[in-house]
Structure 1
Amino acid sequence: MNNGNVTLVGAGVGVRFVAILIDGLIFLPVSYLVAAIFGTTISEGFTLEGIGFYITMLLSFAYYIYFEGVRGATIGKLIIGLKVVKLDGTPCDTKAAVVRTVARIIDGLPFAYLLGALSIWVSVNNQRIGDRLAGTIVVRK
């Protein structure tokens, strides 16, 4: 995408998938801790249900909003060398990060971010639905 001064090239599905896997691995101990506090651990692992599920969801949203809105990228994106910027090339802000994060619910449908991946594949700028709604794009640093 050419915004007048800078040409932005959106990152593809593969590299973004690796970043989200890293974020998931980073967040796994947090999920386990919440499950342990609310008594939903079992010998085979843990489940998130009831209040534990909602607390984990809120913590996950806070993670994405903070890291993308304040730092410009989640830890997974930082490791892979990606960042979130607005379409004009300026840094992602908290408002855009909130929109991106809430839209993850839609992008995650029907499972495993399938709708998000499809929207990246058909977008000229490799944007998922959350990017389009927030006016952002994920680019390589």
Structure 2
Amino acid sequence: MVRSNPRLETRNDTLIARLLAFAVDAVLLTVGLAVLGGVTATVAPRLVGVVGLLIWPLALGYFVVFEWTSGQTPGKRLFGITVVQADGRPASLLAAILRNVLRIVDALPTAYLLGGVLIYRSDDGQRLGDVIGNTVVVKTGS
């Protein structure tokens, strides 16, 4: 997948784009998981519980795979932002895993309140997952 050109100087100017991108990704995940659940319920009803157990790993996997392979989930691509290492290199697999596992903490106490506050207050626009993964979210383009 082609990576977009990161603009490191924009790391403090992505909060609204990040929120909108997450909303798009949440809708895509919800629809995808609902379809998976519906198909499973129709084809193999006994496996519905297994699908339920896989919701969090599948959701985290969605973010990890997209951010590791291209730096962008569909939502991030739509709003012109990308995840990179703090020095501008593409996000490594470990960085993508760390930043997304910590999504659970950033979502506290509700609706990514902690993550949003940290992005707003951080010098580099980083939530906790970004700090631990040594990543930043920046705008793309020339």
TM range (shorter): 0.7 to 0.9
Determine which of 22, 26, 36 is the counterpart of 2:24.
22
Q: 2:120 aligns to what?
A: 121
TM-score norm. by structure 1 comes to 0.82
For residues 106 and 49 of structure 2, what CA distance do their matches in structure 1 show?
23
For residues 8 and 68 of structure 1, what CA distance do their matches in structure 2 show?
20
Q: 2:3 aligns to what?
A: none
Counterparts of 1:26-41 in structure 2, within 5 Å, are 26-36=28-38, 37-38=40-41
Identical residues among aligned pairs (%): 32
Flag structure 2 segments of 5+ consecutive residues without an equivalent. Answer: 1-6, 43-47
1:71 positional shift? 1.1
Matched, 1:139 2:141: no
For residues 54 and 115 of structure 1, what CA distance do their matches in structure 2 show?
26
Name the amino acid aligned to 1:29.
V
1:53 positional shift? 3.4
For residues 57 and 12 of structure 1, what CA distance do their matches in structure 2 show?
25
SS of aligned partner of 2:9: coil
For residues 108 and 27 of structure 1, what CA distance do their matches in structure 2 show?
16
Q: Are the equivalent residues in 2 in contact too, given 1:34–1:56 (CA < 8 A)?
A: no
TM-score norm. by structure 2 comes to 0.81
Greater relative contact order structure (CA < 8 Å, 6+ sep): 2
Q: 1:44 aligns to what?
A: none
Counterparts of 1:77-116 in structure 2, within 5 Å, are 77-116=76-115
- Cα 1:53/1:118, change in 2 over 3 Å: farther
Counterparts of 1:71-82 in structure 2, within 5 Å, are 71-82=70-81
Moved over 2 A (4+): 6-9, 33-39, 49-54
SS of aligned partner of 1:59: helix
Q: 1:8 aligns to what?
A: 9
Q: 1:42 aligns to what?
A: none
1:9 positional shift? 2.5
- What RMSD over aligned residues (CA atoms) do the two structures have, in Å? 1.9
User: Per-residue displacement from partner, 1:83-107 (whole Å, max 9, x unpaired)?
Assistant: 0011111111111000011000000
For residues 9 and 29 of structure 1, what CA distance do their matches in structure 2 show?
31
SS of aligned partner of 1:117: helix
